């Protein structure tokens, strides 16, 4: 059978038969790949734990009729190891994997930007940024905004999402596409604080230095907007999202003030 190699991140696994698994990966060159890892559930498997979610691997595949077959695996980075000791980071990582799985819907279609974004987000989640560590939920929100932007759903934060009038504007509406002006705002639009929108802009552009001193209320308000935006544009709730703990010992106003 013809073979090929690629670098990939393991997104999820499913049991197949008594000893096999179907592995779903996001790869550098071939986009999303679903392949069979034969005998991987046996203790004698040569693949061991290298095909678990979060694993960044170099994989060789044999082309099959229905599904390709994993024939060789080399570990590049074990991004899951530091997350196992941090429940919040682990849950945020699960949301990232699930989001990547949903956004790259077509198999074998190149998705290099999504691949690079996921690898970078998992690295920051476990190791921190060059500007220092950041809360896991902040890293998650940055990933979600940027992943949606790569998929063509970038939120409008500087101009009205409906009429294009330059901002700043006071209202945010997820289904409209982001910030909206007074004339265009739909009923039920949120009215976030300007500091929150500036925080979201920093997350979207990856300006980590601008997020160093953002207060917890602004982080949670921004997280509420991001979560609503993601849920609308993915047209479904993420199963792993409810496990992300965004609580704080200080009671603060909820995300967004309905007008």
User: Is residue 188's pLDDT more than 70?
Assistant: yes
8 A C-beta contact, residue 73 and residue 47:
yes
* pTM of the complete model: 0.90
Residue 170, φ and ψ in degrees, nearest 5: -100, -10
Task: Identify which of 122, 41, 42, 51 has the alpha carbon closest to the alpha carbon of residue 89.
Answer: 122
If DSSP codes are grouped into helix, strand and coil, which group holds residue 58?
strand
Q: Shortest CA distance to 140 belongs to which of 220, 49, 237, 30?
A: 220
Containing 243, the helix (H) or strand (E) segment is none
Q: What number does CATH give the domain 87-243? A: 1.20.1440.120
Lowest-confidence segment of 79-83, 95-99, 117-121, 138-142 by average pLDDT: 79-83
Helical packing angle, 216-234 and 194-205, nearest 10° = 60
pLDDT surpasses 90 at 72: yes
In a 10 Å sphere around its CB, with 0-12 CB exposed, 13-18 middle and 19+ buried, how is residue 19 labelled? middle
What is the model's pLDDT at position 167? 85
Mean pLDDT of the 199-215 span: 93
pLDDT at 256 over 60: no
Spell out the domain ranges in the chain. Answer: 3-78, 87-243
Nearest to 140 by CA among 77, 190, 98: 98
Asked if 11 and 100 count as a contact pair (C-beta separation under 8 A), the reply is yes
What counts of helices (H) and strands (E) characterise the chain? 5, 7
User: Distance between CA 34 and CA 55 in Å, rounded?
Assistant: 15
Core vs surface per residue 216-233: b (16+ CB within 10 A) or e? ebbbbbbbbbbbbbbeeb
Measured between alpha carbons, how far apart are the two ends of the chain, in Å? 62
- Please indicate whether residue 251 or residue 196 has the higher confidence score (pLDDT): 196
- pLDDT per residue over 31-67, tens digit each? 999 999 998 888 878 887 889 999 999 999 999 888 9
pLDDT tens per residue across span 116-174: 999 999 999 988 877 778 899 999 999 999 999 999 999 999 999 999 999 899 999 99
Question: Which 3 state secondary structure label does DSSP give 230?
Answer: helix
**Which of 76-80, 97-101, 241-245, 247-251 has the largest mean confidence?**
97-101
Percent of the chain at pLDDT > 70 equals 95
Q: For the domain 3-78, what is the CATH superfamily, name and number?
A: Nucleic acid-binding proteins (2.40.50.140)
Peptide bond just before 168 cis, omega within 30 deg = yes
SS3 60: strand
* Bridge partner list, 179: 172
Average pLDDT rounded to a whole number, residues 86-99? 95
């Amino acid at each position: 059978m013809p073979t090929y190699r690629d670098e990939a991140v393991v997104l999820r696994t499913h049991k197949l038969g008594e000893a096999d698994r179907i592995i779903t990966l996001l790869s550098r060159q071939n986009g999303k790949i679903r392949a069979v890892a034969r005998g991987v559930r046996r203790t004698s498997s040569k693949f061991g734990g290298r095909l678990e979610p979060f694993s960044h691997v170099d994989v060789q595949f044999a082309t099959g009729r229905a599904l390709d077959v994993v024939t060789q695996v080399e570990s590049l980075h074990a991004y899951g190891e530091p997350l196992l000791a941090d429940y919040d980071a682990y849950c945020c990582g699960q949301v990232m994997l699930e989001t990547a799985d949903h956004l790259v819907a077509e198999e074998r279609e190149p998705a290099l930007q999504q691949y690079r974004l996921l690898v970078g987000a998992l690295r920051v989640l476990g190791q921190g940024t060059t500007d220092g560590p950041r809360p896991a939920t902040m890293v998650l929100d940055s990933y979600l905004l940027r992943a949606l932007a790569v998929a063509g759903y970038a939120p409008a934060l500087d101009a009205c999402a409906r009429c294009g009038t330059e901002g700043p504007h006071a209202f945010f509406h997820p289904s409209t596409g982001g910030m909206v002006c007074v004339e265009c705002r739909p009923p039920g639009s949120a009215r976030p604080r300007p500091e929150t929108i500036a925080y979201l802009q920093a997350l979207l552009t990856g300006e980590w230095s601008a997020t160093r001193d953002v207060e917890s209320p602004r982080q949670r308000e921004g997280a509420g907007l991001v979560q609503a935006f993601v849920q609308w544009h993915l047209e479904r709730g993420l199963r792993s999202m409810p496990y992300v703990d965004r609580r704080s010992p200080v009671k603060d106003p909820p995300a967004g003030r309905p007008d």
